[in-house]
Amino acid sequence: MNINMFQAGDNVLHAKKEQWAVEPRPVEELPLPANFFWGAATAAYQIEGGASQDGKGKSIWDTFSHLEPSRTNGENADVACDHYNRMLEDLDLMASYDVDVYRFSIAWSRVIPLGGRNDPINEKGIAFYNRLIDGLLARNIKPIVTLYHWDVPQELYDRYGAFLNTVEFKADFENFAKLCFSSFGDRVKNWVTFNEPYIISIFGHHSGVLAPGHSAATGYDSRTEPWRVGHTIILSHAAVVDLYAREFRPSQNGIISIVLNGHFYEPWDAASEEHKAAAQRRLEFYIGWFADPIFLGQNYPAQMRAQLGYRLPEFTTEEMSLLRKTAPFNAFYGMNHYSTKFARALPDPPAEDDCTGNVEELAVNKEGEYLGPVSGMSWLRVAPDGFRKLMNWVWDRYHLPIIITENGCPCPGESQMTLDQAVNDTFRVRYFGLYLDAISRAIYEDGIDVQGYCAWSLMDNFEWSAGYGPRYGITHVSYETLVRTPKKSAFYLEQSFKARRSGF
């Protein structure tokens, strides 16, 4: 593989030649349970298009992707994959892959254009998702529906700062959720409240690289905003779980939870207790931040409180009661996972706006060794052992069934490939194969209850601040013609799951 440079924060490491091993690790096609389900995942803003069609209102991503100078590589998702108008074609595409489930999100501003609890409902938006859900069920595909995948209505930021006002946001999110449960819950039995609250909080309100773009550089308080946003998300999730348990689950018989993302972290120096502790601390700052209150009904991790002090909000007695009440109603742990990193304890005291636990994330360890080959994104390396370790970490701490709600990668150089080259995505095939082997080992060797897997993504799409550069899809999309072309990885997943689940 090529010599390259890996950038982490402000440090540039001149790396040795990357090595996987003398011989690449083979994919073993290890077995999976007969009832293990698989499918693909998308997000509304990334694929739907129809930005103002049929009464849809603006989301913060409609605003963010049109800023000047551009924060999204000069591109936007006004059209994206045009899924809003090509939904039937995409349903047939999924059916041809023989998927069991499809995880998608509902665009809040498509069903309530202004977002608020006293604002008008857009019946054409409701009708679109009804057609989608009915089309899935007609093809024997079960929907997994995410209520919030990063696209809060812009009006709610304009009115009261959205997540920065816990009381107002929670009330509006409950109203939105109730509308969705009432409209779709007779057919949807698997619900997700929020996708990746860490990204919403940190990338949207600390570094500012994602909508709404809040950071110290843009005039916002990056010391406190991320933690206020996270606090709002936790309490809004709990309120909606409580709402569903009280008003809808008895008649609809569905389940609900949240999706958390996270790398696994290996110590930068495996012989050092300091760096071992840093790896654990990084997992708590990344995952425990949300998972401890939501799944355990506990306060924030002690290490977060010790470092952050006043910056981390306090739960009131009533809020803690709500968390304890709703913790048992979270039916699964939704895991978005892509890669593993090394965690190095920083020698100096943390910066005033530090959000990592005073840990540096690296692609290479003290010995100059990489975790695995780099994909089409510099931060995403093939590291199935870390995936297995993360499943163990989550299982040991929360003991909930795990659903892999996102996993995948772009191939190196894929965005510059011809169509013929891009559909022959052998790098992605091998990535999927190794990560599915890791799931098999987690189930049969480690005793972890992993129930299903959603590949990211069903199709190439608008990749947030990177625009249309990275291609994660198992389906190639021509952004000029919008023609969909299955990649080798789509057929691999179909055949691999058929083989892995046979004989059980």
Residue 5 counted as domain residue: no
Domain harbouring 65, CATH code: 3.20.20.80
Helix, strand, or coil here: 326? helix
Whether 352 is catalytic: no
Residue 474 counted as domain residue: yes
User: Of the residues 168, 406, 414, 463, which is catalytic?
Assistant: 406
Residue 17 counted as domain residue: no
Residue 7 counted as domain residue: no
- If phi over 0 gives left and psi between -120 and 50 gives alpha, with beta otherwise, what is residue 309? left
Residue 15 counted as domain residue: no
The string of pLDDT tens digits covering residues 107-116 is 999 999 999 9
User: Of the residues 196, 266, 319, 463, which is catalytic?
Assistant: 196
* Beta-carbon count within 10 A of 4 CB: 13
Give the span between the Cα atoms of 109 and 154, in whole angstroms. 8
The string of pLDDT tens digits covering residues 304-332 is 999 999 999 999 999 999 999 999 999 99
Give the span between the Cα atoms of 93 and 115, in whole angstroms. 32
Range of the domain at 350: 24-500
The string of pLDDT tens digits covering residues 201-214 is 999 999 999 999 99
pLDDT confidence bin for 23, thresholds 50/70/90: low
Give the span between the Cα atoms of 270 and 280, in whole angstroms. 12
Total domains present in the chain: 1
Whether 284 is catalytic: no
Residue 40 counted as domain residue: yes
Residue 19 counted as domain residue: no
**Given this model, what pLDDT does residue 13 score?**
31
Residue 16 counted as domain residue: no
Helix, strand, or coil here: 296? helix
Give the span between the Cα atoms of 366 and 11, in whole angstroms. 15
The string of pLDDT tens digits covering residues 129-142 is 999 999 999 999 99
